[in-house]
Structure 1
C-alpha cells in the first residue's frame, strides 16, 4: 500500500479529531466550514492520484439520485494513510453531515448532505405508509407541476403543511409527492434566490440544481430535477 506525505496526514488527523480544541468547539459541534471541506478535498485528490484515477467512494446502485450517489468512503482514505478518521461532524462519527462527491468524472468536488432533512423525510414516509395501508392513492394535495403534488397534510392528521429547513437559507421548504407517492424536498425558493444572486448561463433543459451545489457547501439532496423557464426554476418534465 502506498504511503503519502506523513506531515499532511498528521495535519489532517489533528484537524479532524479536534484535539486542538476544547469540547464545545469540536468539529462535530460546528456547521461544515471551508477548512473541513478543503481537508477532505485534498485527501480525495491525493487518493485519486495514488490509485490511478479511482475515487474513495462507497458503492451505490446505478439509479441512486445523483447528489446521494457518491458518498466519500473514509475507510479507503484511512487505508491509504490519508486520514486518521472522518470529520467529527460526519455521519461516520455520529454527526449530522454526509460527505459526498459531485462531478466525479470531471472535477471531483467534496460537498455535504444535511442528514437532518433525511430524518424529517423518514418521519413523513412513516405517516404516508400508515395512510396508504387504508387508502389506494397517496395523500395528494394541490398539483404544482405535471405529476408533482403538495402533501394533503390534513389527510395525514397534521394541522399544518410539513416542511424541512433549508440548509442554504434556513427558510421552510415544502415536501412534494410524485405520482408514485415518493416524497422530495421542493428547493424552488432556494433555486430562485440563487438564480438572482449568482451569474449563470443555464438554459431550458439544464439541471439548475448545480447552482446550489457549486456555490454552497451543501448539495440539494432528496430533490427532483429542475430547469429554468422565463428566468425562474421549474420542475423538469418527467421523461417518458
Structure 2
C-alpha cells in the first residue's frame, strides 16, 4: 500500500512539474510556430526556392514558345496596350494564349502571373520579336514616387519638388522639400543604387546614366549616330528593359536624357 501510495504521489509531482514546464514554454512555442507560418511572407517571391531558377532559362523557353506561336498563327500572344504606353512597357505576353494552344506547359515562376516580380514582354514586335523582362519592383517604386509627388503638388499649387538640374529639362528630386526620405532602388543591370529624376511637369523617372555609361564602355564604341537611343545598349546586352525611363543621346562623351 505504501509503495502504491508513493508511486501515486510521485506521478502527481511529475505531472505538476510537467504542467508548469508546459506553461512556461507555451509562449515560446507559440512564437516559434508564428515565425514558421510567417516565414514565407517575410521573403519576397524572388527569394523563395521556386523562384531561384535563372530568369535567363525562363526567357529562353518563352522566346521559343513565342517563335513557334508566331510561325503557326502569324500573330503574337500579347496583351492590348495604348498609344500612351511607354515603349519598354508596351507589349506584355499573354501566357493564357500560350498555354491554351499548347505552346507552353506552365507559366515561369519569375513571371508576375505566377507570383514572380517580372512581366515578360515583347519588343521589336514588327521586325524580330524578342522576349525581355520588365522589373516590377522598379515600376512600383516609380509609381509610388509619382503618387507622393502628385500629392505634394496638389497641396502646394502645382509646385514641382525639383532640385539641381542634371540634364536639360530634368532635375534631381527634392525629397527634403517634400518632407520625405529617398528609398534605395537597385539597378537590375549593375545592382548599384540608381538615381531618380523629375521633369518640369512633375513626372519621375529612373536615371539610367550610370548603367548606360557602363554599357558604352563595355561596347568599346566611342561614337553614335545623333538619333541613337542609348537604351538599346541595355536591351541588346541584358535580359531587361529600362522601365520608367526616357531616351538618352550620346553628348560630349556622356549619356544625356532627352526631354519631351
TM-score after normalising by structure 1? 0.82
Q: How does 1:133-172 map to 2 (within 5 A)?
A: 133-135=154-156, 136-159=158-181, 161-172=182-193
Measure the CA separation in 2 of the matches of 1:205 and 1:153. 33
How far apart in 2 are the matches of 1:226 and 1:108?
A: 23
Deviation at 1:122, TM superposition (A): 2.6
Query: Quick check: which has more Rg, 1 or 2?
Result: 2
Q: CA RMSD in A?
A: 1.8
The answer to whether structure 1 residue 112 and structure 2 residue 133 are counterparts is yes
Aligned to 1:219: 241
Q: Equivalent residue for 1:43?
A: 65
Query: CA separation in 2, counterparts of 1:158 and 1:125?
Result: 13
* TM-superposed deviation, 1:217: 0.7
2:14 aligns with: none
Instruction: Give the TM-score normalised by the residue count of structure 2.
Output: 0.76
Residue 128 (structure 1) aligned with residue 145 (structure 2): no
In the TM superposition, what are the counterparts of 1:20-31 in structure 2 within 5 Å? 25-26=49-50, 28-31=51-54
Mapped to 2, the partners of 1:205 and 1:237 lie a distance apart of 14
Q: Is the 8 A contact 1:212 1:218 kept in 2?
A: yes
Equivalent residues of 1:90, 1:98 under 8 A apart:
yes
CA distance in 2, matches of 1:120, 1:24: 21
- The 2-side partners of 1:130 and 1:166 are apart by 26
Q: Which residue of 1 aligns with 2:251?
A: 229
CA distance in 1, matches of 2:161, 2:127: 40
Q: Is the contact made by 2:170 and 2:259 (CA closer than 8 Å) also made in structure 1?
A: no
Segments of structure 2 that go 5 or more residues without pairing to the other structure are 1-46
Note the residue ranges of structure 1 that are not aligned, 5 or more in a row: 1-22
Which whole-Å CA distance do the structure 2 matches of 1:121 and 1:236 have between them?
18
Shift of 1:194: 0.3
1:24 shift after superposition: 5.6
1:88 and 2:109 aligned: yes
Conserved in 1, the CA contact under 8 Å of 2:119 and 2:134? yes
Q: 1:50-69 deviations in whole A, cap 9, x for unaligned?
A: 112x1111110012111101
Q: Which whole-Å CA distance do the structure 1 matches of 2:166 and 2:71 have between them?
A: 46
SS at match of 1:113: strand
Give the helix-richer structure, 1 or 2: 2
